[in-house]
Amino acid sequence: MRNSLDGPGAAATRFTGLAATSERRLSETLAEVTLDSGQVVIVKRGDGDRASRAEAAGLRWLAETGTVRIPAVHGHDERWLVTDRVATGRPQADAAERFGRDLAALHTAGAPAFGAPPPGGPEDAYIGLAPMRNATGPDWPRWYAEHRVLPYLRRAVDAGTVSGAEAPVFEQVCARLPDLAGPAEPPARLHGDLWNGNVLWGADGHTWLIDPAAHGGHRETDLAMLHLFGCPHLDRILEGYQRTAPLADGWADRIALHQLFPLLVHAVLFGRGYAEQALTAARTTLRPG
């Protein structure tokens, strides 16, 4: 193993109290470290203390519900986050249905308010590589417009990814949100970045969640993220969810509305292709049913 006083191995040792015996780089920001106990941990290089603190607080907040499977957090600092590694297997239909039930229970655990950060987490957090501010609001339609859709729309317009002539489509959605949002619901405890890449199918037969952008929000947002990029056995996930905490009538018609936020985030990070998808979602939302 490469000897480094401030590398992944050293970080793993510092937060677990166990010597690192080997280290394998998985990407520019991730490494897998084996400890002398035989345990394997994941060491993630963060972009400053705020990012690591937000992710660690989010993982702990989700885990404390005892619902979805979450890797244990060993520690973090301004540069590193150390968690258990999840041994992965193949997606299984039974595991998917169980995950749906667990996800419903997670959401039902609730949050203090829409936009509430996890305890100990910063208000100025992240979703992926994009800044995400966890400012609270009393009702979901106004909060979603002010703190999720419009900030990323402004960023996309400033970057030229969305044209000034296209922005009014999104603004119209925000103006009509009280009528488009469906029945009022209490704040749910969200993973917040629930795309397929953050869902791990464990070798133990359970489904595990990683890399949250956790906050209080609307539970349909997590489900819309699962739909956005696809997920194995999504039909079985939804079956398990509906049996545990049935969704309000018309939820499927609101998927595009809840996808506006992640699509605009992706437009800011990755460009015009996602802006066009966001425009389609906005127009779909405004289309009479």
Q: What are phi and psi of 223, to 5 degrees?
A: -70, -35
Catalytic residue among 36, 49, 193, 235: 193
How many Å apart are CA 205 and CA 98, to the nearest integer?
10
Give the list of residues 6+ apart from residue 196 with CB closer than 8 angstroms, or none: 226, 229, 230, 231, 232
**How far out from the chain centre does Cα 62 lie?**
11
How many Å apart are CA 76 and CA 63, to the nearest integer?
16
How many Å apart are CA 278 and CA 263, to the nearest integer?
5
Catalytic: 94? no
The strand pair at 188-190 and 130-133 is best described as unpaired
Active site residues: 193
